Structure 1
Amino acid sequence: MEGIKGNINSFNPYSLVAIGLILLAYALLKQIWLLAAIVVIMPFLTFYIVTVLNKPYWGFMTLFTLNYFFIGILRYVNVQNSSVIMDIFIVFLLVSIFLYALCGGKIPWQRANNKLLYISLVWMIYVFYELFNPSAVTEAWIFTRGSFYNFTLLVLLTSLLLNKVEDIKRILFLLSIFTLIAVSKALIQRYMGFDSLESDWLMRSGSYKTHLLRTGIRYFSIFSDAGNFGSNMGMATVIYMILSFYVSNKKLRYYYRFVSLLAAYALMLSGTRGAMIVPLGGLAMFILLNKNIRYIAGGAICLLFIYIFFAHTNILDSNRQIRRMRTAFHPEKDASYLVRKANQKRLAEYMVHKPFGEGVGLAGGEGKRFSRRFTTEIPTDSHYVSIWVQFGIVGLCLHIAILLFVIAYSAYLIMFRIRNKELKGMLIAMNCGLWGIMLSAYGNNFFWQYPTGYIVYIFQTFLVLGKSYDNELTEQTKLEPNINTL
């Protein structure tokens, strides 16, 4: 041990810098650009790895950031099997946590003993056994492996690394910044047009059929599609408007209202009619959770106004975004809605004999790369229909039961167990946002896509562990009088 320590102490870091400069000069002279890039990046990468090993929390924040911009980055950087990048990062983060703990760092392992983690393990076991589904394709299961472990791993990482109320505040504030960036990109698309790579993606992927419509262009910002973008903006609208009523900082209050209003405008830019249910559903849940008569009355009036405006008036019909959103309140007149219902009826006749589904990854057009069959020829157009086709009615019921458990259990905590007002506001905001996006998932197949899936898992963990965060604040309050008397 002494010998190793002595060698480390005698090591001259300048020699490493010299070696790096020599390699960089050689790479530039020989025009070996990959080697040059590696030499330039390596010091920063080494510094980052050391930082995460010393404090895994920063690794989680990196994961949260990368998750939000992942799809947007891939539109400009062509990477094969890109989902492996996120898998590798999650494994690196898990290894960092265990190494940090082995070196004496404090990890609150007891927080992993929570209801949501056990529930996620039930889902993991169910998805694992889908490998033995007679109609399953192993390659499809491997390709969509995120449905197997993402839920469990995100709950575990959130439980261990985001264990303070300040962590919830940081995540929500960081998400507000990301929302503004996403809105800015949508505004650029709206007023300056799509760039060459975005236009190429629209044509190459066939997405122009669902985004360049005669009724108007649907903008998608940095997201996978307009449906994903619109639903996330709807969630941001709900979360930040609710938060603005509970934060004590006046500047932050107005900032969150600004973010909420911009997100609402971005929702309309997306042209995603199904995303309209996010703010409406979130507002309805807010009314149910709140014991403040003023908030209940205000929320009910706002909900009624929105419904009457879109369902029973023609005001601002000259605006194509509003005109398109208005059709969401009259689905019986919408041809695409009628086609979806017809497709669901055809699938129902086929799925009646498949209680455990067709197999993971074998739903909708995405499944054609693995196998051409009845379920891959019919668009699912809905997260829940996709789950039903892949995992069967048993898997669908389990999935919905998990989502409803989180909403109901967190509602109970919010209404009867959480004492801190600011924490209660954050939990209400996340509960309402999650409820709205769950409703929107019926009309759009985005729930497990980046960045929605990770955000949902993180919010679910915050909600189920709400009481532990409240206990932390209670302990701090008890200690403050003792500190003041010293």
Structure 2
Amino acid sequence: MVNKVYSNRISEYTHENGGRVLLLFLLFLLAIYEFLHSGFSIFAIICISPILIVAVYVLSRWKMAAFWALIVINYFLQMKDSPIPSGIPMSLWDEMIEIILIIIAVVDIRQYSHFGKCINLMLFSIIIWFCFCFIELFNNTCGLGIDINSWFTSARLMALHLIWILLVFSIYVSSPQILIQYLRLWAILSLFSVYWTWKQKNIGFTPTENAWLYFGPGARTHVLNGGSLIRYFSTFSDAANYGCNAAATAVALFIIGITNKIKWEKVFFLIISIGVIWGMFQSGTRTAIFCLAAGFLVYVVLAKSFKIAIPFGIAFALFMAFLMFTDIGNGNQQIRRMRSAFDKNDASANVRDVNKAAIKKYLQDAPWGIGIGSSRDNIPANNKYQILSTIPPDSEYVYIWVHTGVIGITVFLVCMLIMWLGACWIVMFKLKSPSLIGIGGGLCSAFIAIQLGAYANQVLYQYPNGLTFFGGLAIVYILPYLESDWIKFEQQRITRQEAKKRLKRIKKLAKRV
């Protein structure tokens, strides 16, 4: 009886909405056809297209919610037990939201008059790098011909994604309020990673983390000294990624903290930065020490102040002397491992040197590299460059060197240097507000720290680093546009802070009476 009632209702609906039902049925058949002939990706896109349309509409109504969602999702994409649904390629989460945000800004261009801020030295540098990557499409060193699909998969992450990051941050970080909220969110996410490190160390790993650490790729690189030393990776893909990110983040948050004029925020950023440094040591990533030191040294130069340079210089010298010339703390395995970064006879460093020598030998005949998108999966076994796809690159710079050759790594380094020097020039000569100089200086210092990490580890394009540090540099370029509003905003906050202090003093005096 019940089935008959539902059947009648379906019949009535079909009769009244025949065209819609037919259209949905045809779309369903199309989805099945695409699944059988083209695989899951197109099928998935067709199936979720109505959801995407609804998502675009919702995001257009709450634009900043989409921006904040992008920051949070990006941060947890490589967490072993990520709450983000799997099944969609990792990079698409970021790119979908970024492209939607850019489309919304274009559609709503009368409201978003911020596109002029996007035209700067950083955009110029990224476009040069992207143009070089496009030329690499015609690189036939390995005799593979033009493979647009493989090329686009790699070039999208290496260059095109940087354009999306620049546009999104330049458009949506449009006020002092949004800027400070972004910095707080970054600090809170970093604090969660510190908590997760503590949780891994003192409570234990989740089943997924445990499987990766002891039975997966982590067993060879993260379980050392017979299992007595664990390199903790927190919410990141691995310990190297975590350690380099932590070093760069700690530099930025510490500098932002010491230059902040709001007391509670100063304490907030400084405490979190110290916690992040603790997490950095738990990762056992030796390169992170140099990232941390380089970041602080950059700020000493950017600050143009002996009051800052002298204390920082003394603190840096003492820290390096502690690691290089003493045995203090050697009972702690993490500190002992960090000290091995200064050992010229370290076996790990020697293996990397051997790999680089082998790569250099093969690349002498390939100044353009083996090609973007070329890998062990598509290079023939009898090709002399096939071995290059099997040697672990160990670092982002070596990876770019292998795939784009000496020409490519030179172009990449020049582009990175231009965009970074442009940001440093803004901090040193265009900004007047001390706290804004602190924010700009912190972000510039963090960028050079993560670049140094990329010299020794493959971390620059790993999540969440690309969005975090290239986005941070994009913020530096828009700081001159925000400065006048920032000064007013900061003065209002200082006034409220002073009013609260006066109120507290009055209450104390009243209690004494």
TM-score normalised by L of structure 1:
0.83
Q: Distance in 2 between matches of 1:403 and 1:288?
A: 19
**Cα distance, 1:49 vs. partner?**
4.5
Residues 1:433 and 2:446 aligned together:
yes
Q: Which amino acid aligns with 1:79?
A: G
Residues 1:255 and 2:268 aligned together:
yes
**Cα distance, 1:465 vs. partner?**
3.1
Q: Partner of 2:174: helix, strand, or coil? A: coil
Show the counterpart of 2:60.
53
Q: What aligned pairs does 1:49-448 form with structure 2 within 5 A after superposition?
A: 49-72=56-79, 78-79=86-87, 81-101=89-109, 104-134=110-140, 135=142, 138-144=148-154, 145-202=156-213, 205-214=216-225, 216-330=229-343, 332-362=344-374, 367-371=375-379, 373-448=386-461
Q: Partner of 2:260: helix, strand, or coil? A: coil
**Cα distance, 1:73 vs. partner?**
6.2
Q: Distance in 1 between matches of 2:322 and 2:469?
A: 30
Q: Distance in 2 between matches of 1:148 and 1:279?
A: 26
Residues 423 and 189 of structure 1: CA distance in aligned 2, closer, same or farther (over 3 Å): same
Q: Partner of 1:127: helix, strand, or coil? A: helix
**Cα distance, 1:248 vs. partner?**
1.1
Q: Deviations over 1:282-323 (max 9, x none)?
A: 111121112222211110011101110000000010000000
Contact 2:370 2:402 in 1 (8 A): yes
Show the counterpart of 2:28.
none
Contact 2:433 2:483 in 1 (8 A): yes
Contact 2:80 2:237 in 1 (8 A): no
Contact 1:139 1:370 in 2 (8 A): no
Q: Distance in 2 between matches of 1:141 and 1:204?
A: 33
Residues 112 and 290 of structure 1: CA distance in aligned 2, closer, same or farther (over 3 Å): closer
**Cα distance, 1:45 vs. partner?**
9.0
**Cα distance, 1:252 vs. partner?**
1.0
Q: Which moved more, 1:107-116 or 1:295-304?
A: 107-116
Q: Distance in 1 between matches of 2:306 and 2:258?
A: 14
Residues 357 and 204 of structure 1: CA distance in aligned 2, closer, same or farther (over 3 Å): farther
Contact 1:56 1:97 in 2 (8 A): no
Q: Which moved more, 1:426-435 or 1:315-324?
A: 426-435
Q: Partner of 1:447: helix, strand, or coil? A: coil
Contact 1:278 1:437 in 2 (8 A): yes
Q: Which amino acid aligns with 1:413?
A: I
Q: Which amino acid aligns with 1:128?
A: F
Q: Deviations over 1:326-384 (max 9, x none)?
A: 11122x1210100100110110011112121111244xxxx434446111111111111
Q: Distance in 2 between matches of 1:386 and 1:291?
A: 36
Contact 1:55 1:100 in 2 (8 A): no
Contact 1:219 1:269 in 2 (8 A): yes
**Cα distance, 1:255 vs. partner?**
1.2
**Cα distance, 1:433 vs. partner?**
1.3
Q: Distance in 2 between matches of 1:188 and 1:129?
A: 47
Q: Partner of 1:465: helix, strand, or coil? A: helix
Contact 1:165 1:423 in 2 (8 A): no
Q: Deviations over 1:201-258 (max 9, x none)?
A: 3356422211111161111111111001011111121111111111111111111111
**Cα distance, 1:452 vs. partner?**
0.3
Unaligned 5+ runs, structure 1:
1-40, 479-486
TM-score normalised by L of structure 2:
0.78
Q: Distance in 1 between matches of 2:373 and 2:96?
A: 21
**Cα distance, 1:96 vs. partner?**
2.1
Q: Distance in 2 between matches of 1:359 and 1:348?
A: 15
**Cα distance, 1:466 vs. partner?**
3.3
Q: What aligned pairs does 1:450-469 form with structure 2 within 5 A after superposition?
A: 450-469=463-482
Moved over 6 A (4+): 41-48, 474-478
Residues 370 and 211 of structure 1: CA distance in aligned 2, closer, same or farther (over 3 Å): farther
Q: How many residues align?
A: 431
Contact 2:250 2:277 in 1 (8 A): yes
Contact 2:176 2:489 in 1 (8 A): no
Q: Which amino acid aligns with 1:100?
A: D
